[in-house]
Amino acid sequence: MAAWACSLFFTATLPAFAADGPRQVTDDTGHRVTLPTQVRRIADAWFAHHSLLMTLGAGDKIVATVNHPESRPWMFRLQPSLSQALSVHGISFNSEALLARNTDVIFVPAGDSDAAAYRQAHIPTLEMRFTDYASMKKSLLTTAEVLGTPDAMARANAYNSWLDGQITQVGQRLANLPEAQRPRVLHISSLHPLKVDGAGTLIDQWIRAAGGRNAAASISGNMHEVSPEMILAWQPDVIILGADAGNIADSGDAPIFAALKAQQAGKVFRNPAGVFPWDRYGTEAALQIPWAAKTLHPTRFTDIDMLKITKTFYQRFFDYTLSDADAQRILHAQGPV
């Protein structure tokens, strides 16, 4: 257990930061963006990117958000200042409203159609994108560079080192696991409509890192709508439901799910969710690796205490002390009391 906790506090050598003057940073799509000397007020139009800012200690700088307490209650519990931010449904902000809030910079998902309007309003606009752990680490470093403080870069390096540690440690324990003992895992992002995550995704990466095989590897990308008959043909050994996927019992496809060996064997699991769903594109994706490995191979990871790891992670990277009850609720994809 010690190795899993100790790597949490690793820090790396930090670069120097300019004391004054405008700066330029390259976003995840290759745009060079000129930034003010200090970034104090941030608009964030990518749901998952909020967790990166919170990991870097900059959640209180978000003055415009696309997230809501109804859908992300832990995010607002850990970062209550979000309740005072400009809030929109969807991902489009009014540029005038952002200017009225003296927004220093806005983060948008890559390819966002509103990016041109923000740039026309002279709001520094960074398009962000990551599809796997390597690009997420890079995106976190870019975000830290935008923030422009040694503390933000120290946090980014510490997080990236911890993530690398999870991948390495889990990989070492599973190195001698035969292919035949790696269960076929189906990750369902939605039951209504029925959507799954295929190859070329962060989800596919953590399934493989945790000692599984993606049952939906024949399709590519996130949240692909499929027929229940296709799932019946795949016959996964394990099903992992996204936190917001819905319940099989309430699905019109419940009779088909009853015919699946995963359902019959009690191998259907609900994915944890905290600030953001662990299985998707936030920094808690690092916690997904030990959780998934212990879920798929419990006898190989008997010493891994997910309650302790979760509490330590939230304290270190979100500056928040979880109670045991809080951590249990996150592990069971339940909101705060």
Contact status, residue 131 vs residue 201, Cβ threshold 8 Å: yes
**CATH architecture group of domain 178-331:** 3-Layer(aba) Sandwich (3.40)
**4-18, 225-239, 274-288: least confident range:** 4-18
The band of 14, judged by pLDDT with boundaries at 50, 70 and 90, is very low
pLDDT at 22: 82
Predicted TM-score (pTM) of the model is 0.92
Distance CA 316, CA 59 (A): 14
Arithmetic mean of pLDDT, 307-321: 98
Q: Beta strands 184-191 and 194-196: pairing type?
A: antiparallel
Listed residue (193, 252, 253) closest to 225, CA to CA: 193
Cβ-contact 276, 72 below 8 angstroms: yes
pLDDT per residue as tens digits for the range 98-114: 999 999 999 999 999 99
Residue 337 to residues 189, 306, 327, Cα–Cα distance (Å): 25, 20, 12
pLDDT at 305 over 70: yes
Assigned token pair, 292? 């998934």
pLDDT at 3 over 90: no
Q: Which residue type sits at 330?
A: I
Residues 118 and 105: their CA atoms lie apart, in Å, by: 10
pLDDT, mean over the chain: 94
Distance between CA 25 and CA 243 in Å, rounded? 35
Bridging pattern class, strands 184-191 and 213-214: parallel
pLDDT at res. 299: 96
pLDDT at 11 over 50: no
Paired strand residues for 199: 220
What pLDDT sits at residue 4? 52
Domains of the chain, by residue range, sit at 21-166, 178-331
Instruction: Read off the pLDDT of each residue in 221-247 and give the average, rounded to a whole number.
Output: 96
**N- to C-terminal Cα separation, the chain:** 29
Enumerate the β-bridge partners of residue 224: 196
CA–CA dist 59, 68 (Å, integer): 14
pLDDT bracket for residue 20 (50, 70, 90): low
- Asked if pLDDT for residue 7 goes beyond 80, the answer is no
Tell me the mean pLDDT in the region 41-56: 98
Contacts of 145 (CB under 8 A, 6+ apart): 25, 153
Task: Calculate Rg over the CA atoms of the chain.
Answer: 20
Q: How far apart are CA 298 and CA 131, in angstroms?
A: 28
pLDDT tens readout for residues 160-197: 999 999 999 999 999 999 999 999 999 999 999 999 99
Q: Contact at 8 Å (CB) between 156 and 56?
A: yes
Helix segments in the chain, DSSP class H: 2-6, 49-55, 73-78, 95-100, 115-120, 133-147, 150-174, 202-209, 228-234, 254-258, 261-264, 285-296, 306-318, 324-331
Could you check whether 21-166 and 178-331 share the same CATH topology? yes
Q: How confident is the model at residue 5 (pLDDT cuts 50, 70, 90)?
A: very low
Protein fold of 21-166: Rossmann fold (3.40.50)
* Nearest Cα residue to 4 out of 314, 312, 319, 321: 312
Count each helix (H run) and each strand (E run) in the chain, helices first. Answer: 14, 13
With a pLDDT cut of 90, the percent of the chain lying above it is: 92
Query: Which pLDDT does position 12 carry in this prediction?
Result: 41
